[in-house]
Structure 1
Amino acid sequence: MRRRGFFALAAGVLVAAGCGANGAGSLVKRLFVLEPTADGHGWDRIAGRLATVVVQAGLARTAMAVERGGALGSAPRDAFGAFHGPFAREGRLLVTAMPMVAAAEIANTVAVVNAATPIARLVGDWSVLVVPSDSRLLTFEDFAARLRRNPAGLAVGGRPEGGSEHVLYGMIGKCLGVDARLLEYAGYLTPEDAVEGLQVGQVAALLGSARALRSEIAAGRLRPLAVSSGDRIDGIDAPTLREVDVRLEYSDWCGLLGPKDMSPEDRDAAIALCDRLDAAPGWRSLCAAHGWSRVYLSGDDFRQWLSTETARARGVLHELGLLKSSDTTCWGSCVRRP
């Protein structure tokens, strides 16, 4: 009889290789994937799915998704405790994303890139700007003209304040030459709440996950004005921001961090696991099924990118009035003028 591969535990879900699985080539004996539970993180339940694929691909003998409470901004500092490895025996990785980066900046705690060891950026999620189907804002140009005319009079919704959509809205405003401090933004705990807020007129437009809003767009209940991706998105009839002369490309993203004081050997082992995960057919199928874009970066490349992305977010959060100071400066407009 084949042994069950899943065991429900109080701390999370443990995935174990079945009797027929070969763990001889695994990179880690036990892997714990830590997932923040704070509101607004935006990548709920990805840890469990990741743990399943890691075991199915033979990268770990067992893997457990573990929920971690507490403040989102301090998660990289608090999640690992006094754990020191070695990774091959008992590895621990923390799910991270753009909201965690922003939360750390807003809380004025240690930046995520410095509070832990950046291991890999795994997947991304493009955003779409939508309005109700009966909105008088027919195009992005209509939206931009109204925003320039009266920034405070155009309320835009998205996930919680300081999160990915709020940062993106600040970037759009900045690129359009609008004072970000005047932007009116409403944060909602869930995408469903945000869509409801749009439909009842609490906000005039909504920034949200293109993946999550695709069905509402397909049903004709929402009209897309622009997408934040570099190329157009299949199934969404809307230009990219670059096509409407806003030189901006932006994606919410999800990655993994290790403990701050990882040894070089443990860091290399964790990166090797992520390299093989990204190449695993099971992971690629999972990404396709959930509409996640694979945006893989690992090791020093991820660390450098995360440092740059943190600086970009910090500058926008400062202009939105959520930070007292900023290390970044905007040099000129992001819009191509005639």
Structure 2
Amino acid sequence: MRRRGFLTLAAGLALAAGCDAGDGAGPAVKRLFVLEPTADGHGWDGIAGRLSTVLVQAGLVRTAMAVEWGGALGSAPRDAFGAFHGPFAREGRLLVTAMPMVAAAEIANTAAVVNAATPLARLVGDWTVLVVPSGSRLRTFEDFVARLRHDPAELTVGGRSEGGSDHVLYGMIGKCLGVDTRLLEYAGYLAPQDAAEALQVGRVAALLGSARALRPEIVAGRLRPLVVSSGARIDGIDAPTLLEADVRLEYSDWCGLLGPRDMSPGDRDAALALCDRIDAAPRWRALCASQGWSRVYLSGDEFRQWLRTETARTRGVLHELGLLKSSATTCRGSCVRRP
């Protein structure tokens, strides 16, 4: 692990600098480490540092450190915590998780995220938009659907890394439309600029990506939005939702927090209480608004059950996309498709 930054402000010093004290209950944790994977495709770079800052400024912890975790994304829930055993209130550790980690664990045939760690909370989400160049012949989502149904193999869609949130969403869209998911053509790019270049030069016909990140290009008229994955329309993006387009699907590239697998009941309760206070903190809500993140808070047993369902759904799509040999939750030998 490599330290990204160490925030040494105590709650009292933060108050002296003009920071609020959250809900007035005082620091829940003396020292907290927020681990953030650095593997390509994780998609939530920098959130650990921002969260650590809010935690100290809001008086929820005395000190917080954002720590980069450079291991494999799929095994991060199993490996990142090491031999750490708490107690959480004295020195806690949290791991940033997101949909790409769920998919990576399935593709790598390691323990599912929900089983390899303690699911604590889903914090925020980032909606996805399907865009084409302003001069594209695909004027509407209906045009896109018609072409996809006519010949899926002729329509290449780009997005973030293969097997990641955009790829899984494209598979879900194809499935909902009755298209043979195995025929979908997808090109994954680790760098947003590479995906944008691929769209500009015509290597891909359309692009799936963060609505938050692509909005400036949409507002400037350089990209045309066809549909968004949110349940309601997004301000500044003139495009219908998938639900409005008769695709019964709502999908968010979510981000949340995990604890060590073997947390004691007391440590889990303390961690869940901290997550509740994070979501309620005005400074956290202000940060979400400024970053364009949607608060999709879900914690404890409800988050665990949701994560089980989401893992099964993701695994099924990965199998249909040809990235896994089996859609079963447990495979004998490797579940990864071999050439």
Matched, 1:20 2:13: yes
Distance 2:218 2:308 in 1: 35
Residue matched to 2:266: 265
| Post-superposition CA distance 1:196-216 (Å, at most 9, x none) | 110111100000000000000
Cα drift, residue 193 of structure 1: 1.7
Map 1:126-141 onto structure 2 (within 5 A).
126-141=127-142
Map 1:157-176 onto structure 2 (within 5 A).
157-176=158-177
Residue matched to 1:292: 293
Runs of 4+ in 1 over 6 A off after TM superposition: none
Distance 1:118 1:229 in 2: 24
Percent identity of paired positions between Structure 1 and Structure 2: 82
Distance 2:153 2:27 in 1: 55
Distance 2:201 2:152 in 1: 21
**Helix, strand or coil for the counterpart of 1:199?**
helix
Cα drift, residue 10 of structure 1: 5.7
| Post-superposition CA distance 1:271-325 (Å, at most 9, x none) | 1001001010100000000000000001101101100100110000000000111
Instruction: Confirm or deny: 8 A CA contact 2:2 2:67 kept in the other structure.
Output: no
Give the alignment's TM-score, normalised by structure 2.
0.92
**Helix, strand or coil for the counterpart of 1:244?**
coil
Corresponding residue to 1:11 among 3, 19, 28 = 3
**Helix, strand or coil for the counterpart of 2:34?**
strand
Distance 1:327 1:291 in 2: 36
Residue matched to 2:325: 324
Residue matched to 1:192: 193
Residue matched to 1:245: 246
Distance 2:214 2:198 in 1: 14
Residue matched to 1:336: none
Matched, 1:57 2:58: yes
**Helix, strand or coil for the counterpart of 1:283?**
helix
AA at the equivalent of 1:70: G
| Post-superposition CA distance 1:196-247 (Å, at most 9, x none) | 1101111000000000000000000000000000000000000000111110
Map 1:229-244 onto structure 2 (within 5 A).
229-244=230-245
Distance 1:301 1:79 in 2: 24
**Helix, strand or coil for the counterpart of 1:211?**
helix
**Helix, strand or coil for the counterpart of 1:20?**
helix
Distance 1:239 1:195 in 2: 22
Distance 2:323 2:14 in 1: 50
| Post-superposition CA distance 1:158-188 (Å, at most 9, x none) | 0000000000000000011111111000000
AA at the equivalent of 1:123: V
Instruction: Confirm or deny: 8 A CA contact 2:2 2:69 kept in the other structure.
Output: no
AA at the equivalent of 1:11: R
Distance 1:173 1:126 in 2: 18
Residue matched to 2:305: 304
Distance 1:68 1:140 in 2: 39
**Helix, strand or coil for the counterpart of 1:131?**
strand
Distance 2:133 2:316 in 1: 31
AA at the equivalent of 1:135: S
**Helix, strand or coil for the counterpart of 2:36?**
strand
Distance 1:199 1:217 in 2: 14
Distance 2:207 2:302 in 1: 33
Residue matched to 2:335: none
Distance 2:231 2:188 in 1: 25
Instruction: Confirm or deny: 8 A CA contact 2:128 2:208 kept in the other structure.
Output: yes
Distance 1:211 1:217 in 2: 10
Q: Which runs of 5+ in 2 are unaligned?
A: 16-20, 330-339
Cα drift, residue 14 of structure 1: 1.2
Distance 2:319 2:233 in 1: 30
What is the aligned residue count?
Answer: 320
Q: Which runs of 5+ in 1 are unaligned?
A: 1-8, 329-338
| Post-superposition CA distance 1:38-73 (Å, at most 9, x none) | 000000000000000001111110000000011100
Question: What root-mean-square deviation, in Å, do the aligned CA atoms of Structure 1 and Structure 2 show?
Answer: 1.4
Matched, 1:142 2:135: no
AA at the equivalent of 1:252: D
Residue matched to 2:93: 92
AA at the equivalent of 2:309: T
Give the alignment's TM-score, normalised by structure 1.
0.93
Distance 1:102 1:299 in 2: 21
Distance 2:230 2:219 in 1: 18
Distance 1:108 1:187 in 2: 21
**Helix, strand or coil for the counterpart of 1:11?**
strand
Instruction: Confirm or deny: 8 A CA contact 2:103 2:163 kept in the other structure.
Output: yes
Distance 1:167 1:114 in 2: 21
Residue matched to 2:31: 30
